[in-house]
């Protein structure tokens, strides 16, 4: 890659979100910007010299997966996280115990006037090696058209690649003889992929909370560019999830058999599987697209005029055909237009059925009446909905319809996240993108989830954002990857992704 991501491009600047980009420029102190430019030049040389070792560090981290859902490496994961934080220059890196998987809290205090918080997740989703074209824990470099050279492995893009890019930036600063321009508080968890059931214990820990409260904000590093245009969709929030299981077990309720029995008994004994299917059918419209959970939709906040404006811009600057090709769908729900589909994506809560388990599914028939059935669901919430309300509404909804025997096991979740467009940390991020000549379109929120509400709500009460460049794909899926050497001049490779993290830290320091 060339150094184009360090130099502003008039063409790309013209694509920036106009008002937001202009505001970002007004927030920057010009004197400090001159010094930052000189620092970044020598830091880039150090990052380029470190590239081979940086790739190896990411491969080594991918080789140690922490899978909270399976209890895999839940001791080794935080220990390794603390180790690589210290190796990157953090003076302290302490393992924070929880009632689940431990977290890590690290600080890098260089005596700067400003602090920034950084959120890492070191856990990853489950993987089946048989579904991958390359071993999921190898981090192999492969050529993948049209992207270029990519690293393929579980956690490559979600989220170890972006996290290592920040640690690489800190290493490059040290090698160049430069101190980070801001102090950094690093908060890490190992349960994000199961909806962060114990993350509050980390964020409110007596050693953690006072440091977070003096931060300018908290951010998540990671690749965020469009695969073709190189444009960044900068999100101002995220939906909130509730991860749960619904279980009907005859051995515990007496409704249905206590063990699998002959299917002829269905004439006089309830079926747990049918009980579960009927209960599930009450949660959404018949097509599964609209939640019908009692009271669930009452507090949904309509999109504001500004949010609709941002979505219209997003629709114009993203590629509908490329998305459909990637997903394999021919149309959106109800044959919505692309813009209306984005409005629905970002404004509507969902109740998604991830999977059903129960009974016999092997060859032939088995003539049984199964004793147990289980469904895995996630509910995604939008602003004004809360985790506590949703869990309560689900229990009341099922009980009202006679499904008291349906057990609800909630494994994790948190409220939706919102950050104001005029927050200083947002303006610093937009200013950094502007300096790099990378076009940005603002988005009201992500349709996905991360536990940012634990930062944006009291007692931390700080803005929370994502920042980064580069491209990755396949999160939660086989053949997950992150771009190392980009074949597209509009999309950053891994050294440029490292430099973007450095650029952001300097932009934070330059804020008036």
Q: Report whether the peptide linkage leading into residue 159 is cis, meaning its omega lies within 30 degrees of zero.
A: yes
Asked whether residue 344 is domain-assigned, the answer is no
Same domain membership, residue 408 and residue 297: yes
Asked whether residue 144 is domain-assigned, the answer is yes
- CA quadruple 376, 377, 378, 384: dihedral positive or negative? negative
Same domain membership, residue 125 and residue 191: yes
What CATH number is attached to the domain comprising 362?
3.30.70.360
Asked whether residue 223 is domain-assigned, the answer is yes
CB 441 within 8 A of CB 231: yes
Dihedral-angle region of residue 445 (phi above 0 means left; psi in -120 to 50 means alpha; beta otherwise): beta
For residue 318, what pLDDT band results from cuts at 50, 70 and 90?
A: confident
Question: pLDDT tens digit string along 197-229?
Answer: 999 999 999 999 999 999 999 999 999 999 989
Asked whether residue 231 is domain-assigned, the answer is yes
Q: Report whether the peptide linkage leading into residue 29 is cis, meaning its omega lies within 30 degrees of zero.
A: no
Domain limit, last residue, from 360, 386, 413: 413
pLDDT of residue 374: 98
Same domain membership, residue 474 and residue 442: yes
Please determine, for residue 499, whether its predicted confidence score (pLDDT) is greater than 70. yes
Same domain membership, residue 245 and residue 139: no
Same domain membership, residue 206 and residue 157: yes
Same domain membership, residue 370 and residue 234: no
> Which three-class secondary structure string do you get for 44-100?
HHHHHHCHHHHHHHHHHHHCCCEEHHHCECCCHHHHHHHHHHHHCCCCEEEEECCCC
State how far the Cα of 310 lies from the Cα of 444, in Å rounded to an integer.
Answer: 7
Provide the number of structural domains found in the chain. 2
Domain limit, last residue, from 357, 391, 413: 413
Report which of 437, 444, 478 is spatially closest to residue 225, judged by C-alpha positions. Answer: 437
Same domain membership, residue 154 and residue 69: yes
Asked whether residue 335 is domain-assigned, the answer is no
What CATH number is attached to the domain comprising 121?
3.40.630.10
Same domain membership, residue 144 and residue 289: no
State how far the Cα of 68 lies from the Cα of 101, in Å rounded to an integer.
Answer: 7
CB 470 within 8 A of CB 225: yes
Asked whether residue 171 is domain-assigned, the answer is yes
Mean pLDDT, residues 308-332: 93
> Which three-class secondary structure string do you get for 274-339?
HHHHHHHHCCECCCCCCECCCCCCCCCCCCCHHHHHHHHHHHHHCCHHHHHHHHCCCCCHHHCCHH
Same domain membership, residue 407 and residue 429: no
Domain limit, last residue, from 390, 413, 436: 413
Asked whether residue 464 is domain-assigned, the answer is yes
Give CA separation, 41 vs 37, 51, 177, 432, 496, in Å: 6, 16, 12, 15, 12
Question: pLDDT tens digit string along 103-140?
Answer: 999 999 999 999 999 999 999 999 999 999 999 999 99
Same domain membership, residue 493 and residue 396: no
Distance between first and last Cα of the chain: 32
For residue 34, what pLDDT band results from cuts at 50, 70 and 90?
A: low
Q: Which domain holds residue 251?
A: 240-306+349-413
Same domain membership, residue 230 and residue 358: no
Please give the structure tokens belonging to residue 127: 């993987």
State how far the Cα of 491 lies from the Cα of 479, in Å rounded to an integer.
Answer: 20
């Amino acid at each position: 890659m060339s150094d184009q991501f360090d130099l502003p491009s008039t063409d790309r600047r013209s694509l920036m979100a106009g008002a937001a980009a202009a505001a970002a420029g007004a927030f920057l102190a010009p004197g400090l910007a001159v010094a930052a430019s000189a620092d970044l030049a020598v830091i880039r040389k150090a990052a380029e010299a470190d590239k081979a070792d940086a790739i190896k560090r990411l491969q080594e981290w991918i080789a140690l997966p922490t899978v909270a859902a399976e209890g895999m490496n839940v001791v080794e994961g935080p220990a390794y996280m603390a180790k690589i934080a210290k190796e990157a220059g953090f003076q302290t890196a302490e393992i924070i115990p929880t009632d689940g998987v431990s977290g890590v809290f690290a600080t890098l205090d260089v005596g700067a006037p400003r602090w920034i918080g950084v959120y890492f997740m070191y856990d990853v989703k489950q993987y089946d090696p048989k579904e991958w074209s390359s071993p999921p824990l190898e981090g192999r470099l492969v050529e993948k058209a049209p992207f270029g050279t990519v690293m393929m492995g579980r956690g490559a893009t979600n989220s170890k690649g972006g996290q290592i890019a920040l640690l690489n930036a800190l290493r490059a600063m040290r090698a160049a003889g430069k101190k980070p321009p801001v102090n950094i508080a690093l908060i890490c968890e190992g349960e994000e992929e199961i909806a962060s059931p114990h993350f509050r214990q980390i964020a409110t820990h007596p050693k953690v909370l006072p440091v977070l409260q003096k931060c300018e904000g908290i951010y998540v590093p990671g690749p965020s560019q469009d695969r073709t245009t190189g444009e960044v969709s900068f999100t101002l929030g995220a939906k909130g999830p509730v991860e749960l299981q619904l279980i009907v077990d005859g051995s515990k309720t007496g409704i249905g058999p206590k063990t699998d029995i002959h299917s002829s008994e269905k004439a006089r004994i309830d079926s747990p599987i049918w009980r579960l299917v009927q209960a599930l059918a009450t949660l959404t419209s018949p097509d599964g697209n609209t939640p019908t959970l009692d009271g669930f939709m009452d507090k949904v906040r309509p999109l504001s005029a500004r949010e609709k404006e941002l979505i219209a811009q997003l629709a114009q600057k993203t590629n509908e055909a490329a998305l459909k090709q990637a997903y394999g769908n021919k149309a959106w729900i109800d044959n919505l237009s692309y813009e209306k589909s984005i409005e629905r994506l970002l404004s509507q809560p969902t109740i998604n059925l991830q999977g059903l388990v129960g009974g016999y599914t092997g060859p032939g028939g088995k003539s049984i009446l199964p004793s147990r059935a289980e469904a895995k669901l996630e509910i995604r919430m939008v602003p004004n909905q809360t985790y506590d309300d949703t869990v309560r509404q689900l229990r009341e909804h099922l009980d009202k319809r006679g499904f008291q025997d349906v057990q609800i096991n909630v494994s994790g979740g948190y409220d939706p996240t919102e950050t104001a467009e005029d927050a200083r940390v947002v303006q610093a991020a937009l200013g950094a993108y502007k300096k790099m000549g990378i076009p940005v379109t603002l988005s009201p929120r992500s349709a996905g989830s991360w536990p940012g509400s634990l930062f944006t709500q009291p007692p931390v009460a700080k803005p929370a954002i994502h920042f980064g460049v580069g491209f990755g794909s396949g999160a939660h899926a086989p053949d997950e990857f992150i771009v190392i050497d980009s074949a597209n001049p509009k999309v950053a490779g891994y050294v440029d992704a490292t430099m973007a993290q450095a650029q952001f830290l300097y932009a934070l320091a330059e804020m008036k």
